[in-house]
Every structure is written in C-alpha cells, then in structure tokens.
Chains A and B, each alone.
Chain A
Amino acid sequence: MSTATYAGVPVDVNDEGFFVQPEQWTREMAVEMARADGIDPLTDQHWQVIDFMRKEYFDKGTGPTVRMLGKTSGVSVKELYLLFPKGPAKMAARIAGIPKPKGCI
C-alpha cells in the first residue's frame, strides 16, 4: 500500500493505484485522475458510470463486473469501452475511487 495525492489531498492506494478507502474520494480527485488517463473532460455519461459504480460498491461491497455494468448502468458495454478505453471495470473503478471489482470466484 502507498499514498497518492489527488486534488492536493493524500489518499491510500494499493499497488495498482486503486483506492483502499473509497470514503477518501472526492469528485475533484476523479477529474484529476481522469485527466492523467487522457479523459478530459469527464462528460455526463462518464459521471453516470462513476456514480453507478460507487453506489454498487457501497450497496454490495464490490464494484460491478463489465457484464453487470452493461446490464444495469444504462450504458452499453461498447459505449463503456469508448468512455473508458482501458476497460470500464478497471479504469472506471479506479477513477471512481473504489477497489478493483473482484469478479466472483
């Protein structure tokens, strides 16, 4: 575990840059992380996905898989990849400040 600084505030992240404590996340941090990943600006559709992922995480204890996102977020999987090219689950989850979705075992 290490520390990263987003929007001027230090936060705990794991080796892959995922938030360890989603409560530390703010919307300003998401904007900064997205910009560093080449997404600028975050559109309403990006926010729709980010907000949905955080809600799922706090409701269920883990972020949604790609398939669940496609079925329930209101954005199709193809669109999700256009919004977050490195993969919605991995890239969107990091920007949304939640741990990497587990995928069931």
Chain B
Amino acid sequence: MSKRIVILGGGTGGTLTANRLYRHFHHDEVAITVIDQNGDHVYQPGLLFVPFGLAKPADIVRPRGEQLKDGISYIELAVDHVDIEQNMVVIANGTEIPYDVLIIATGSVLVPEETEGLTDAGWMEKTFTFYDLPGATALAKALDHFEGGRIVVNVVDMPIKCPVAPLEFCFLADWFFTEKGIRDKVELIYATPLDGAFTKPIASETLKGLLAEKGVELVTEFNTGEVDGVEGKLVGYDGREVPFDLAVVVPLHSGAAYVSRSPGLGDELNFVPTDPSTLQSKVSPNIFAIGDATNVPASKAGSVTHFEGEVLTENVIRFIEGHELDASYDGHANCFIETGFGKALLIDFNYETEPLTGHFPTAVGMPLLKESRLNHLGKLMFQWFYWHGLLPGRDIPGIGANMPKHGKHAASSTDTPNSDHQEELV
C-alpha cells in the first residue's frame, strides 16, 4: 500500500518538499497531498520592493497549485487541527485526512493585534507594515505622497521573517527619498529590540556602519509596548518614546493558528519543536517540519527553507524506507541585503559560523559583507531561480545544503570587518 504524505502549507518549504519527494518515489509508492488555505503563492522577498514602486504586487504572486507537479494532490482549504494521536488532519469543511507522514510547512503569521494599539486608529494610514501584500501596497501609496518628516522602522520582537529586511527597508528608503530630492526633509530611525543593528557581531558592526553612513538613527534595546497611531509615537515598556510621522512596523510573528488548536503540536508561540539537524519534530517521529514553522535557531528565511528542504526530503525518504535518519542540516543561511543605489551585501552563515567577510561560494565569487553591484544583480536574478529552480526542487549548481567554508575569512577578536589580513577558514 502506498504511503500517505500530507504536507500542510504550499509556500516555499511545502512546495519544494512536495516536488522533491514526488520526483524521488514511484507514483504507486506514495500519495502526496498539499493543503493550503489560499491560492496565492507570494514571492516574499519581493515584498521589500513594493513600497518603493520597484515591484508591482502582480509581479510577485503566482497560482499556488501550479507550482506543484502534476500528480501531487492539492486541497485549497484551511486546516482546522491536527490529531497527533490518530495521525489525522481535519480541514475546515470537517473532512478527515489520514497520514503516514506529516510535514508542517505553514510558515509564520503576523500577529499585529498582540501589540497594544498597533491595529487601532492610524493602522494602514500612519502605521504600516510591508510584511504582507496589502500592507506593502498601502505603504507604496503613503511613501509616494510623503513630503517629509520622521519615518520610524520598528521591529517589535524576534523572531521575525528575514531579520535583515527591516534594515534593507531603511537603506532603500534613504535611496528612495534621495531620488525624490527630499532626503534632507526626511528623518529615518531604526528602532530594534536587539542591542545592535543585527544579532551577529561582525555583521552587526558592518550594518551599523552602513546605517550611520546613510544617516539612519539607530535606537537599540527598544521593546515596543504600545503604538499610538493618532499621536504618532512608539512607547517602549521602559517608558522611552519614539515619535513618528509614519511608522513601518514589523509585527510580532507566531506559527499558524491551527497549531494552537492541535494539542501537543506547538510551543507557546505556535512554532513546532523540531530537531535542528534532522528536521524531525520532537512531537512525533512521523511528523517533520520545515522553514518558518519550526523553532530551530536559524533565520526564518527562504534560503534556510531551501537548504533545509534537501535534508528534510532525504530524512523523510529514510523514515519511509525504515532507515535511521542521518542527513544533517547545519543551519546554513544565505541572504542578499539590498543597500540601495543598485548595490547589495551578501551574508552566508550557519548555526556555528557567524556571517564573515570573504567570498561566496568559494574564494572566487561574490563578495561577502561588502556592498557590490554583483550582489544586487544576484538578488534580482534570484526571483527567476525561485520559480524555476527552487520551487521545482532543483539544487543550485555548486551550492549545497551545507555552508561552504572555503572563501570565508576567519573571525578573531583582533580582526576588523574589513581587514584584508584574514585567513580563510579552509
């Protein structure tokens, strides 16, 4: 009898995993079903460009079902809950869908309502987010009409998707208002709960330097307690206030809501406790998880999901064939950081190694932690690869799931980020 693989979520992780598994097995060996609550597959990295008129909403959305290979079943309905004991998913119309292997790929959701005042008066008028399509679209209109004043970019708390995106927003805003000829009338402020521009020391210093260079004020260790969209101010739990004319807020993130209706499936934030190396859940041996839906200590980012997909697929195959899991994910992440004026940085890191300087993927390649035109082109070209390579489940030639060490400069306490006298890791 064929094995029933049910995948919750048809985003980056769900789609690429379904396609990879489908390609591996004979069609009578497994029946793969993908369930998602809506039909729009959004290329999420593209959301950053929408507010600045650099991408139109229609450019970054494609039909979800069409990204799946023929032969994969696709159900477009919300999940009501998962019954772990019965190995059963119950969907919104009450239908019970039994599984032999379940893969959780439902990502994370924005929960702006968890921050006091954020969705009250002023929401989508004076306070915005670019983390979803309606928000990014509304913000595009607001930025187009903005004639001057204070713009505050605020991260409420971690974890968030793509932790570099709010920084990229600041850099692009600097470019946008410079192009418009009103940069001198716009104050840009970045308020973060972190104690620096980023979590990892070397990248944090580089990014802090870039913020300063572009005239963006950095407010650290700011834990937003309340957003007042009428008065125009963020109020920190410690009493500090950050006034604004326009706020771009990255709201709190949680795992999908059905996780909370599924006893034993998720943690306090609805993320699924997951083994960081094998991507098997800690909930049940036949439940796996990928991407933003997990609680693994990696960035919630498409590249992480992509690299995880390779390992996850291998381990699901091993599980189905009765072998011990041995494929191991190292936390590899790879992010282009758009810095405006046609340039970008590139960072590449994993659980153990922080983002370093050097080149990627080898000593001859794209520069790491350094602005370049090449990185910007890489970022733009990636959108094509996303639809035509990543989602269909193809590997990038020369770039595997594990982080390459060759080409990176070793970090030591005496090195400065831009030192030319660093040794390569390998």
Are B193 and A103 in contact, with the CB atoms below 8 A? yes
Are A103 and B194 in contact, with the CB atoms below 8 A? yes
Are B268 and A65 in contact, with the CB atoms below 8 A? no
Q: Which residue of B lies closest to A67 (CB)?
A: B157
Q: How far, in angstroms, from A28 to B178 measured CA to CA in the complex?
A: 57
Asked if B129 is an interface residue, CB under 8 A from chain A, the answer is no
Within 8 A of A (CB), among B254-278: 268-269
Are B159 and A104 in contact, with the CB atoms below 8 A? yes
Are A66 and B299 in contact, with the CB atoms below 8 A? no
Q: How far, in angstroms, from A81 to B298 measured CA to CA in the complex?
A: 28
Asked if B209 is an interface residue, CB under 8 A from chain A, the answer is no
A65 contact from B157, B238, B297, Cβ within 8 A: B157
A66 contact from B199, B237, B269, B298, Cβ within 8 A: B237
Are B237 and A71 in contact, with the CB atoms below 8 A? no
Are A87 and B223 in contact, with the CB atoms below 8 A? yes
Are B299 and A68 in contact, with the CB atoms below 8 A? no
Are A103 and B238 in contact, with the CB atoms below 8 A? no
Asked if B252 is an interface residue, CB under 8 A from chain A, the answer is yes
Asked if A78 is an interface residue, CB under 8 A from chain B, the answer is yes
Binary contact track A72-87/B, C-beta < 8 Å → 1, others 0: 1000011011000111
Asked if A102 is an interface residue, CB under 8 A from chain B, the answer is yes
Binary contact track A37-63/B, C-beta < 8 Å → 1, others 0: 000000000000000000000000000
- With A71-B269, A102-B199, A105-B298 as known contacts, state yes or no: A90 contacts B221, CB within 8 Å: yes
Contact residues in B for A77 (Cβ distance below 8 Å): 223, 225, 237
How many chain B residues touch the partner (CB < 8 A)?
A: 19
Binary contact track B201-225/A, C-beta < 8 Å → 1, others 0: 0000000000000000000010101
Within 8 A of A (CB), among B6-44: none
Q: Which residue of B lies closest to A81 (CB)?
A: B237
> Would you call the interface of chain A mostly helix, strand, loop, or mixed?
helix
Contact residues in A for B238 (Cβ distance below 8 Å): 81, 85-87
Binary contact track B276-297/A, C-beta < 8 Å → 1, others 0: 0000000000000000000001
Q: How large is the interface on A (under 10, 10 to 19, 20 to 34, 35 or more residues)?
A: 10 to 19
Q: How far, in angstroms, from A72 to B267 measured CA to CA in the complex?
A: 10
Q: Which residue of B lies closest to A85 (CB)?
A: B238
Asked if B163 is an interface residue, CB under 8 A from chain A, the answer is yes
Are A65 and B158 in contact, with the CB atoms below 8 A? yes
Asked if B200 is an interface residue, CB under 8 A from chain A, the answer is yes
Contact residues in A for B299 (Cβ distance below 8 Å): 104-105
Q: Which residue of B lies closest to A89 (CB)?
A: B223
Q: Which residue of B lies closest to A82 (CB)?
A: B237
Contact residues in A for B269 (Cβ distance below 8 Å): 67-68, 71
Contact residues in B for A105 (Cβ distance below 8 Å): 158, 163, 199-200, 297-299
Contact residues in B for A87 (Cβ distance below 8 Å): 221, 223, 237-238
B193 contact from A66, A68, A71, A78, Cβ within 8 A: A66
- With A71-B268, A87-B238 as known contacts, state yes or no: A78 contacts B225, CB within 8 Å: yes
Contact residues in A for B225 (Cβ distance below 8 Å): 77-78, 81
Q: Tell me the smallest distance from the CB of B234 to a CB of chain A, in Å.
A: 15
Contact residues in B for A72 (Cβ distance below 8 Å): 268
Q: Tell me the smallest distance from the CB of B131 to a CB of chain A, in Å.
A: 16
Contact residues in B for A65 (Cβ distance below 8 Å): 157-158, 193
Contact residues in A for B157 (Cβ distance below 8 Å): 65-67, 103
B158, B194, B252: most-surrounded residue (chain A CB, <10 A) = B158
Q: How far, in angstroms, from A105 to B200 measured CA to CA in the complex?
A: 8
What are 5 contact pairs spanning A and B, CB under 8 A? A65-B158, A103-B199, A105-B199, A105-B200, A105-B297
Please name the 10 residue pairs, one residue from A and one from B, whose CB atoms are nearest each other, closest first.
A104-B159, A103-B158, A105-B199, A67-B157, A81-B237, A104-B158, A71-B268, A66-B223, A72-B268, A105-B299
Q: 8 other contacts beyond A65-B158, A65-B193, A104-B159, with CB at 8 A cut-off?
A: A78-B237, A81-B225, A87-B238, A103-B157, A104-B158, A105-B158, A105-B200, A105-B298
